[in-house]
Chains A and B, each alone.
Chain A
């Protein structure tokens, strides 16, 4: 059986949708952050796969993915820092209770 493009894209899209679902429904901000990582990784998979199957001679997709992973790491660090500070301020990490910016 041939492993074609679609075999990679379907798990990636499932991962992405799980990430979106988790981001919208989970109450804990750490869980939201994990969902965010899930979406990012789904996109990374797409990059690599498109590069490999559509333009095998090019390497931009691979490098872009490496950059994305590095930036995602930095972003996660910042997000964790923000979450820790929010927790210090309100003793809570539930996204639904942090609604001071409403109206």
Chain B
């Protein structure tokens, strides 16, 4: 395949960022928005073309004669050559998962660009907003097509930076500023682990290249044999540390605390970055390195356990939040954890790594329906001017389009056939059940909770009791409605894509057999969740309040997200600040600064003490001079004698 089109996919968003960033202030809002959207539209067409070529052209570059999809490097430009061994390249890798991401990212990004034309209308810094969106699209596309782990790391940090910029977009709000700082600092801690992991891995394997690393992990790691550190092999440490980076980006416990606060950003940004694309980078990272993880079973178990605990935690917390964006944020955490669990449960002996394919499938469908839900939430917030469901209710009468699209999103995430979420979640459950029944039951429970909390929000917002509206809420203009409708259509049909034909572990096609036992269980659980939500929240009644009162401590704890933020505050403020920072600050201020200040103070005081000698009277000076000369003479004479 020619390298021009893949290069353009990266160059257009970057160029648009520079154009809008540098010349945006000279443009009108409309021109900047339309330019950004058109740029993204071009990228959309080009990446569809690239992905289509990859999947369907039958080119021997992309698919072997036996029907195995290959990893194909379109171009790989040497960028920094430190030593012959240490070379960092920038390139474009096409394989099933990167081609799939080439569909997901531009689709969601284009929808968000279009939607923002309406949602952000008249905001101060509109051009800056579009510049940052372009920067984000560039970084995310660069991340998924990375040919080596260092390129991935570079773009990984770039998406982090653009996420920081967009969360803090309303920089006059203190809450937005602190949320963006929180996101940046938490992910930076995680990325420290990622960087150390990369360094360990590449030190032992002598390569950054994904294809070299993943095609034959056994050979690449021959040199690590016997190298251990604190009871684990070096390779285990490297993979767990690399996964730490993924935990930070994908908001796995205990590094999840930044994602709910990141909802301070504009809602379309939440849809694009904090629901559909950037936060799945951690899943993508594990999938990209999957053969290496397979070589270290402990690290995959670690992924599984972290994912499972996070999924349950986030689902419980989502049931008690008042802010609809927070509910969606916790739902995102929970769904990403689903993908992680699925990867953790994937083993070649169980249906040839079904979990790998299921996780990528869920990534795809989740991106669509979660972006839909967020954009729907944006339309609600736009209409009601509040994030809290207490200010909403009975909206099905006023906002039919939003109502139907939001309902489709909820059905999709709850896992009701034939909507998208059902198919992918079912594959995940099959994969987890075949690995371990315990975790299978666990994840089924979480799936039920998912249905419950999504329909809780749906009923509370669109049914329940109608509050007093200052002005009549109504559906949004076409730039906001069209993306909702398109994404709703995708969410209906995406599950019917024969995903096993396109994205599998080793590129083999395989037919998905429905496991109707697991599917039946998951449907029943989802329906039960929806029915409970309906009983509690369809019409205004006292039951939810009674339930909350009956186990008040649990409700309060979940409402406060099980006090994770307070724990972090306690650790940082009380232990780290008091135990480490204050002594260091004291040492700096008293000992280091104190020494220097001491010199200055002594000199100062001494000069004040002797300044009166400068009387300005010539005769005094002469007297002092005379006494000095006499003393000198006496001392000299005494010494000589």
Contact = CB atoms under 8 A, between A and B. Distances in A.
Interface of A: 20, 23-25, 32, 95-96, 98-103
B612 interface: yes
B614 A102 contact: yes
Given A24-B622, A99-B617, A103-B612, 5 more contacts: A25-B619, A32-B619, A95-B617, A99-B616, A102-B615
Contact of A23 (B611, B614, B619): B619
Contacts of B68: none
A31 to B, nearest CB: 11
Interface string B602-615: 00000000011011
Contacts of B619: 23-25, 32, 95-96
B23 interface: no
B641 interface: no
B567 interface: no
B615 A99 contact: yes
Contacts of B618: 32, 95, 98
A102 B617 contact: yes
Contacts, number: 32
Contacts of A101: 614, 616
B614 A103 contact: yes
A46 to B, nearest CB: 16
A96 B612 contact: no
A5 B623 CA distance: 30
A32 to B, nearest CB: 8
A20 B617 CA distance: 16
A59 B614 CA distance: 43
Interface residues of B, number: 11
Nearest to B619: A24
B616 A100 contact: yes
Contacts of A103: 611-612, 614-616
A100 B614 CA distance: 10
Contacts of B617: 95-96, 99, 102
B626 interface: yes
Nearest to A20: B626
A83 to B, nearest CB: 12
For the residues of B in contact with A, the DSSP-based class is helix
A74 B617 CA distance: 24
B616 A23 contact: no
B316 to A, nearest CB: 76
Interface of B: 611-612, 614-619, 622-623, 626
26 contacts: A20-B626, A23-B619, A23-B622, A24-B619, A24-B623, A24-B626, A25-B619, A32-B618, A32-B619, A95-B617, A95-B618, A96-B617, A98-B616, A98-B618, A99-B615, A99-B616, A99-B617, A100-B616, A101-B614, A101-B616, A102-B616, A102-B617, A103-B611, A103-B612, A103-B614, A103-B615
A98 B623 CA distance: 17
- Which of B611, B614, B619, B622 has its CB near the most chain A CB atoms (within 10 A)? B619
A96 B616 CA distance: 9
Contacts of A25: 619
A32 B622 CA distance: 12
B337 to A, nearest CB: 76
A82 to B, nearest CB: 12
A25 B622 CA distance: 11
A17 to B, nearest CB: 11
Contacts of B623: 24
A102 B618 CA distance: 10
Contacts of A99: 615-617
Contacts of B612: 103
A103 B610 CA distance: 9
A15 to B, nearest CB: 16
Contacts of B622: 23-24
Contacts of B616: 98-103
A98 B619 CA distance: 11
A24 B615 CA distance: 14
Contacts of A32: 618-619
Contacts of B626: 20, 24
Contacts of B614: 101-103
A24 B614 CA distance: 16
Identify the 7 closest CB pairs spanning chains A and B, nearest first: A102-B616, A99-B616, A101-B616, A102-B615, A99-B617, A103-B614, A24-B619
Contacts of A20: 626
Contacts of A24: 619, 622-623, 626
Contacts of A95: 617-619
Nearest to A101: B616
A57 B626 CA distance: 35
Contacts of A102: 614-617
Contacts of B611: 103
A25 B623 CA distance: 10
A3 B221 CA distance: 111
Contacts of A100: 616
A103 B616 CA distance: 7
A96 B619 CA distance: 8
A87 to B, nearest CB: 15
A24 B626 CA distance: 10
Nearest to A26: B619
B584 to A, nearest CB: 43
A101 B618 CA distance: 10
Contacts of A23: 619, 622
B577 to A, nearest CB: 47
A95 B612 CA distance: 18
